[in-house]
């Protein structure tokens, strides 16, 4: 059986993506680091709608923790494999660079970029060995395309993720593994709740923030068979803010 793994799947965009994938009948593995209650809530919501879900807690920035969790899952599911991967885990530690502590730079890079590397590297062999390949979607950001003031760390991580997406797509295309990135703009999530939304909406041609469900619908398409000939692409979803 094919499974989907969504890192950072307990809240915000990750939650919406988990729900959207589960609606297609694919069992979803919800990764989270510490908020077990939120992850259990997502699992319960999926199951209430007739879907299948399980939890997999680990810190994506810790290579040993990633390998331990995924090795244990593979041992428990000898006939299954993770065919769909959404690298969604990410954090923000905003500050102007001259005031940014070392730990805030490294924490953001470690989660968004190194987390992508550790999880994807572990799952790639099984995807590439299977006849039907796999799908990888990396959650980048508007910040990774244009840069955002006060987000040198976040912009660097998300821009690097775009470069890695394009390179990896070339490495895996012949094995039917597609690799794409999604770059959301301002989306209504916990991560944007403290931002000055009324002010920022005026910068968006559509005059509103996006909904997590709108991003999740795009991710679902990129994971589907209908997107089998799309790879190495970065798709923006930002209401026209950056075109």
The residues annotated with a catalytic role in the active site are 154
The SS3 call for residue 181 is strand
What is the Cα–Cα distance from 79 to 59, expressed in whole angstroms?
26
Tokens of 241: 């803010």
The SS3 call for residue 230 is coil
What is the Cα–Cα distance from 220 to 24, expressed in whole angstroms?
9
Q: Which helix (H) or strand (E) holds 235?
A: strand 234-237
What is the Cα–Cα distance from 6 to 87, expressed in whole angstroms?
6
Task: For the sheet with 134-139, list strands across it.
Answer: 53-57, 28-32, 2-6, 81-87, 134-139, 177-184, 234-237
Helices 115-129 and 63-76 pack at an angle, to 10 degrees, of 30
């Amino acid at each position: 059986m094919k499974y989907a793994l969504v890192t950072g799947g307990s809240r915000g965009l990750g939650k919406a993506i988990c729900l959207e994938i589960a609606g297609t009948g694919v069992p979803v593995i919800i990764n989270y680091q510490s908020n077990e209650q939120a992850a259990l809530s997502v699992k319960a919501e999926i199951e209430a709608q007739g879907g299948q879900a399980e939890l997999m807690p680990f810190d994506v920035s810790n290579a040993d923790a990633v390998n331990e969790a995924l090795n244990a899952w593979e041992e428990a599911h000898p006939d299954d494999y993770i065919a769909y991967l959404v690298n969604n885990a990410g954090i923000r530690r905003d500050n102007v660079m001259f005031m940014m502590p070392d730990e805030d730079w490294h924490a953001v890079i470690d989660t968004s970029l190194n987390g992508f590397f550790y999880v994807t590297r572990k799952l790639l062999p099984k995807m590439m060995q299977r006849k039907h390949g796999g799908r990888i979607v990396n959650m980048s950001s508007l910040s990774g395309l244009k840069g955002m003031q006060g987000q040198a760390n976040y912009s660097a991580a998300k821009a690097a993720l775009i470069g890695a997406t394009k390179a990896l797509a070339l490495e895996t295309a012949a094995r039917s593994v597609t690799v794409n990135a999604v770059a959301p703009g301002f989306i209504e999530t916990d991560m944007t709740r403290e931002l000055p939304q009324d002010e920022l909406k005026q910068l968006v041609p559509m005059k509103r923030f996006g909904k997590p469900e709108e991003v999740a619908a795009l991710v679902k398409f990129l994971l589907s068979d209908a997107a089998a000939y799309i790879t190495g692409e970065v798709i923006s979803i930002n209401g026209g803010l950056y075109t």
